[in-house]
């Protein structure tokens, strides 16, 4: 009953925007394509090549961490929530993994599992604060982020722990130009796509994000759904932390915040066509958003653009992209 | 008695709890530190808190009308860096730089507001993009580290004071704060202020009633930008020039506003409560400092407090509704 109700509007909705023009997902990939072409030309004019093996590797490596975080962020944003705690959580998980391993190969699996367990616990706290204490998601996850930050600042001054050499294969090995970690990220993205689009609880996330009262009245356990989304998001951030530990060889408390993964991941999801209010968006679009951001970075690096100029462009791209969607939605409504 | 009853409703809903918290903190300060035995200690506290309180008042306008302003922290940094570069230690430049700074604040607020209302981009994304742009632009312009210096006459606003009988030396920042606060209170009691709150509560209703929703929202962002510029002038004088001066201030200001019981999403809360929230936050940090709690744990405490405050506010109102039901309750019912 509930599935049928949730499914029907989704299926009926799909053809409608196509009639007007492209869906956001298609737009993102067209933009990505345009960016690759323009980027290649610009880099070519400077005497370099954007899409050689090194360039592809660069783009994919940059995409892996942001991709993992953004996949998780997609789930909470689709549910109509938000997670600002992922950046500190990434640092925390990299430390938990590296300190548990402490250089010994036998502790690799316990280290990863413990890091993911810690992540899941933080996600659970996020979800429960939002659903049980009824705190606004923005404040709840900001509060949890501040608590994590206090813990990290109080206990760590720099990198700690170390991962065994074998574990670093995860961070550095590749097949051709494609890093193994990127393949794992794509696998996780596929799993997340399947989960959101093909399972009952995945549909519930869209339903809750679309209209929480309607979802509740149709029998969706809204609280459970929100908590689940936050746990999954945190676990994805935990995976990003584990991957970073493998690349850095140790845990680093501020590896997540230095890269601004909290706001950056939200930006990627929104670039991918998700609505911040919830109910719209998806993993495929998010990956497009992630690829755009990392391609921009790589192009700027190849052009030796001032790193601070990157931020300026990133901000403008973000605003313009969202403005484009908003216009489209408006014209779709009036048409 | 009758004076009390006519005065009481003027204390807007939600102001009382934060005032209770503030008084408790001030009593705690008086007990914990000998510095708070006479007015000068409290004046010093007010002087420290003034920039954050002014920022919180600005943020209040945006939040109560239903938006976010994440750009104020980087705007503060930008203003201080611009001031240092333009003044370059010359006293004669102060006169025209201060109006210029206020103008830049207004301009940034105007851009934020115009993009939010005309391009229909959620204010979260607009101001996040503005944060990136400002951060990048400042560093691009200065080449990584702030250059120049502030003039003594510029720093007077953050550092100096005016002699007042009984109280002693009253810092200029406290005087400016009081002027801002009184103006803000009078503004919010007027027609425009009331309509601004109504916009946060129900935009469509205001529009149907003939209110200029877009103009009001733009006004809120402009006021936020203007007050951020003012806070930057005080902070520049108080703390000097650095590229970190505004870091994290946007979240701190939002925390302060929420601590004052202002509802995220708009429509409820008073400007006095927002300012009191900021003062409470600063008093709390002073108290923790006196009690010897490490600075690193400051953010953890801040995290716990904002979660607790928001949870108290929403659970408190939930409880009220359950005891005195007025309308059908759409809050999630306990299962």
Q: From the list B255, B299, B307, which residue is nearest A133 (CB)?
A: B307
Cβ–Cβ gap B133/A311 under 8 Å: yes
C-alpha Rg value of chain B to the nearest Å: 20
Residue B270 to chain A, least CA–CA distance (Å): 19
A331 touching B, CB under 8 A? Answer: no
Of B110, B116, B49, B105, whose CA–CA distance to B266 is shortest?
B116
pLDDT of the residue at B321: 55
Cβ–Cβ gap A318/B125 under 8 Å: yes
| Domain ranges within chain A, ordered by starting residue | 52-325
Residue B134 to chain A, least CA–CA distance (Å): 7
Chain B residues closer than 8 Å to A142 by CB: 251, 254-255, 303, 306
The answer to whether the beta carbons of residues B257 and B275 sit under 8 Å apart is no
pLDDT of the residue at A101: 92
pLDDT of the residue at A17: 47
Cβ–Cβ gap A138/B264 under 8 Å: yes
Average pLDDT over residues A89-112: 94
Could you give the C-alpha distances from A309 to A5, B134, B226, in angstroms and in order?
48, 10, 25
Measured from the Cβ of residue B287, the count of other Cβ atoms closer than 10 Å reads 20
CA distance B39 to A331: 60
Chain B residues closer than 8 Å to A221 by CB: 335
pLDDT of the residue at B255: 86
A154 touching B, CB under 8 A? Answer: yes
Dihedral pair phi/psi, residue A278, rounded to 5°: 100, 170
- Residue A174: enclosing H or E segment and its boundaries? strand A174-175
Round the average pLDDT of chain A to a whole number and report it: 87
Residue A326 to chain B, least CA–CA distance (Å): 6
CA angle A204, A208, A213 (to 5 degrees): 125
3-class secondary structure for B144-157?
Answer: CCCCCCCCHHHHHH
Cβ–Cβ gap A139/B139 under 8 Å: no
Cβ–Cβ gap B299/A150 under 8 Å: yes
pLDDT of chain B, 335 residues: tens digit per residue: 444 444 444 556 667 778 888 888 888 888 887 778 777 888 888 988 999 999 999 999 999 999 989 999 999 999 999 998 888 888 888 889 999 999 999 999 999 999 999 988 888 889 989 998 998 888 888 777 778 888 888 888 877 777 777 777 788 889 999 999 999 999 999 999 999 999 998 889 999 998 899 999 999 999 999 999 999 999 988 887 888 888 889 888 988 898 888 888 888 888 999 999 999 989 988 888 888 877 778 788 888 887 887 787 777 665 555 555 554 445 554 44
Residue A239 to chain B, least CA–CA distance (Å): 24
Per-residue model confidence as pLDDT tens digits over B28-66:
888 887 778 777 888 888 988 999 999 999 999 999 999
Cβ–Cβ gap B303/A146 under 8 Å: yes
List all residues 6 or more positions away from A166 whose beta carbon is below 8 Å from its beta carbon.
Answer: A105, A108
Residue-by-residue DSSP string for B167-223: TEEEEHHHHHHHHHHHHHHHHHHSHHHHHHHHHHH-HHHHHHTT--HHHHHHHHHHH
CA distance A150 to A228: 26
pLDDT of the residue at B70: 92
Chain B residues closer than 8 Å to A73 by CB: none
Query: Which of B250, B262, B311 should we substitute to test contact with A (largest number of A Cβ atoms within 10 Å)?
Result: B311
Structural domains in chain B, sorted by start = 42-312 (1.10.3470)
Residue A260 to chain B, least CA–CA distance (Å): 11
CA distance A159 to A85: 20
pTM, 2 dp = 0.83
Of B316, B318, B334, whose CA–CA distance to A216 is shortest?
B334
pLDDT of the residue at A334: 36
CATH of region A52-325: 1.10.3470
Chain A residues closer than 8 Å to B115 by CB: 319, 323
Residue of chain A minimizing CA distance to B144: A308
Query: Which of A133, A218, A319 should we substitute to test contact with B (largest number of B Cβ atoms within 10 Å)?
Result: A319
Per-residue model confidence as pLDDT tens digits over A156-204:
988 999 999 999 988 888 887 788 999 999 999 999 999 999 999 999 9
Partner B, chain A 281-310, Cβ-Cβ below 8 Å = 306, 308-310
Pairing of strands A174-175, B168-171: unpaired
A266 touching B, CB under 8 A? Answer: yes
Residue-by-residue DSSP string for A276-327: TTSS---HHHHHHHHHHHHHHHHHHHHTT--HHHHHHHHHHHHHHHHHHHHH
Per-residue model confidence as pLDDT tens digits over A287-333:
999 999 999 888 888 888 887 888 888 888 888 878 877 766 555 44
pLDDT of the residue at B13: 62
Q: From the list B264, B304, B332, which residue is nearest A222 (CB)?
A: B332
Q: From the list B303, B314, B330, which residue is nearest A145 (CB)?
A: B303
Token pair 């760590």 is found at A156
Residue of chain A minimizing CA distance to B257: A139
Measured from the Cβ of residue B189, the count of other Cβ atoms closer than 10 Å reads 14
Res. A231 pLDDT band, cuts 50 70 90: very high
Residue of chain B minimizing CA distance to A152: B296
A204 touching B, CB under 8 A? Answer: no
Chain A residues closer than 8 Å to B265 by CB: 136
Residue of chain B minimizing CA distance to A214: B330
Query: Could you tell me if the ipTM is greater than 0.95?
Result: no
CA distance B95 to B101: 11
Highest mean pLDDT among A36-50, A167-181, A206-220, A291-305: A206-220
């Amino acid at each position: 009953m509930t599935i049928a109700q949730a499914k029907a509007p989704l299926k009926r909705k799909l053809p409608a925007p196509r009639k007007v023009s492209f869906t956001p997902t298609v737009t993102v990939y067209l933009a990505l394509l345009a960016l690759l072409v323009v980027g290649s030309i610009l880099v070519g004019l400077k005497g370099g090549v954007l899409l050689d093996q090194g360039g592809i590797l660069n783009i994919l490596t940059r995409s892996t961490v942001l991709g993992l975080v953004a996949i998780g962020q997609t789930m909470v944003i689709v549910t109509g929530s938000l997670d600002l705690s992922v950046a500190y959580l990434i640092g925390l998980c990299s430390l938990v993994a590296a300190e548990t391993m402490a250089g010994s190969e036998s502790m690799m699996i316990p280290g990863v599992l413990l890091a993911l367990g810690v992540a899941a616990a933080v996600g659970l706290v996020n979800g429960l604060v939002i659903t049980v204490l009824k705190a606004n998601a923005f404040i709840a996850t900001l509060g949890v982020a501040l608590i994590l930050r206090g813990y990290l600042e109080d206990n760590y001054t720099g990198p700690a722990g170390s991962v065994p050499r074998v574990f670093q294969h995860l961070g550095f090995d590749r097949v051709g130009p494609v890093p193994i970690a990127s393949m794992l990220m794509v696998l996780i993205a596929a799993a997340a796509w399947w989960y959101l689009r093909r399972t009952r609880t995945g549909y519930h996330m869209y339903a809750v994000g679309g209209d929480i009262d309607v979802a509740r009245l149709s029998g969706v356990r809204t609280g459970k759904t929100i908590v689940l989304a936050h746990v999954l998001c945190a676990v994805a951030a935990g995976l990003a932390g584990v991957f970073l530990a493998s690349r850095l060889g140790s845990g680093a408390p501020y590896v997540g915040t230095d890269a601004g993964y909290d706001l950056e991941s939200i930006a990627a999801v929104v670039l991918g066509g998700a609505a911040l209010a919830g109910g719209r968006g998806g993993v495929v679009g998010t990956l497009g958003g992630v690829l755009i951001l990392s391609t921009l970075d790589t192009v700027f690096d190849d052009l030796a653009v001032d790193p601070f100029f990157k931020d300026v462009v990133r901000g403008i791209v973000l605003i313009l992209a969202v403005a484009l969607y908003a216009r489209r939605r408006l014209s779709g409504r009036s048409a | 008695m009758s004076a009390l009853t006519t005065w009481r409703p003027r204390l807007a809903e939600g102001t009382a709890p934060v005032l209770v918290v503030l008084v408790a903190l001030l009593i705690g300060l008086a007990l914990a530190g000998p510095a708070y035995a006479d007015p000068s200690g409290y004046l010093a506290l007010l002087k420290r808190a003034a920039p954050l309180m002014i920022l919180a008042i600005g943020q209040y306008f945006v939040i109560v009308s239903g938006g976010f302003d994440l750009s104020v922290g980087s705007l503060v940094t930008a203003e201080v860096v611009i001031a240092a570069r333009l003044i370059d230690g010359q006293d004669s430049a102060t006169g025209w730089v201060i109006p210029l700074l206020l103008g830049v604040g207004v301009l940034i607020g105007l851009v934020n507001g115009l993009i939010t209302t005309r391009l229909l981009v959620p204010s979260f994304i607009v101001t996040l993009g503005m944060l990136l742009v400002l951060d990048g632009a400042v560093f691009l312009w200065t080449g990584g580290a702030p250059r120049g210096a502030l003039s003594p006459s510029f720093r007077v606003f953050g550092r100096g004071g005016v002699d007042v009988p009984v109280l002693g030396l009253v810092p200029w920042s406290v005087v400016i704060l009081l002027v801002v606060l009184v103006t803000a209170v009078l503004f919010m009691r007027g027609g425009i202020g009331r309509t601004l709150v109504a916009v946060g509560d129900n935009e469509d209703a205001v529009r149907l009633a003939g209110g200029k929703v877009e103009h009001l929202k733009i006004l809120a962002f402009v006021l936020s930008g203007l007050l951020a510029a003012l806070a930057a002038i005080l902070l520049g004088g108080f703390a000097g020039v650095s590229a970190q001066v505004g870091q994290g201030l946007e979240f701190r200001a939002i925390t302060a506003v929420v601590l004052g019981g202002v509802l995220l999403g708009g429509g409820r809360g008073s400007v006095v409560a927002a300012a009191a929230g900021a003062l409470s936050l600063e008093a709390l940090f002073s108290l923790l400092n006196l009690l010897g709690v490490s600075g690193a744990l400051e953010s953890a405490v801040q995290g716990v407090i904002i979660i607790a405050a928001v949870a108290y506010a929403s659970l408190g109102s939930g409880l009220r509704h359950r005891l005195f039901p007025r309308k059908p309750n759409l809050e999630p019912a306990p299962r």
